[in-house]
Amino acid sequence: MKILNLYYSATGNTAKVAEQIEKAIRTEGHEVTTVKATKDIDLDILAYDYVFIGCGVFMWLPGKPLMKLINNLQKKYREEIKSAAPRRPGKKAIVYCTFGGGHTGANEAVAVVKYSGQLFDHLGYEIIAEWYFPGEYHGKHENLNIEGRLGKISGRPNEGDLQEIYEKVIAILRV
């Protein structure tokens, strides 16, 4: 299988997850292309059977470079997006985010996961999983790493989280 591992990370948490995803995919013997989103890259997304797409949550939304990239790709693939979005057999996507959830927990992150998956859903990929991983705040909101709705999230994603992610990826590749 040809797999795209697309992510955006501003402070490094999602990059750790994406690295783990790449490791698990390679262990399973598949070809993987890992790409950090920037607004001006070009991607031949329909060339991939499986897509992992992940991002941190910033003010309830994905990072701007990922949003811009999705917007550009939506324009590029306009002709491929058909009414009622018929499925493309064999194409699958896994959407995830890392988030701090400091105020309202996972509710802050839902829009990011739903938004990030829509380009692929429109193109007929089946969204086979949506994952939410705690990611500690870096910078001025660090108090939320202990006072927030998720409880203590300092240091996350930690070794245990990364091991769990590795195992989830191995399992989802069998779907």
Ligand X SMILES: Cc1cc2nc3c(=O)[nH]c(=O)nc-3n(C[C@H](O)[C@H](O)[C@H](O)COP(=O)(O)O)c2cc1C
Site stretch for ligand X (CB under 6 A), options 7-15, 36-44, 64-72, 121-129 = 7-15
- Which listed residue (48, 50, 52, 58) binds ligand X by CB under 6 A? 58
Contact flag: residue 108 with ligand X (CB under 6 A): yes
CB of 48 to ligand X, least distance (A): 22
- Is 4 near ligand X (CB under 6 A)? no
Closest distance between ligand X and the C-beta of residue 66, in Å? Answer: 10
Q: What are phi and psi of 50, to 5 degrees?
A: -120, 140
Q: Is 12 an interacting residue with respect to ligand X (CB under 6 A)?
A: yes
Task: Return all residues near 143 (Cβ < 8 A) that are at least 6 apart.
Answer: none
Give the strand order in the sheet containing 50-56.
31-36, 2-8, 50-56, 92-99, 126-134
Tokens 């941190």 belong to residue: 56
DSSP H/E element including 55: strand 50-56
Q: Contacts with ligand X in 84-103 (CB under 6 A)?
A: 98-101
What radius of gyration do the chain's Cα atoms show?
A: 16
Q: Whose Cβ is closer to ligand X: residue 11's or residue 72's?
A: 11
Chain positions contacting ligand X, by CB under 6 A: 9-15, 56-60, 98-101, 108-109, 135-139, 141
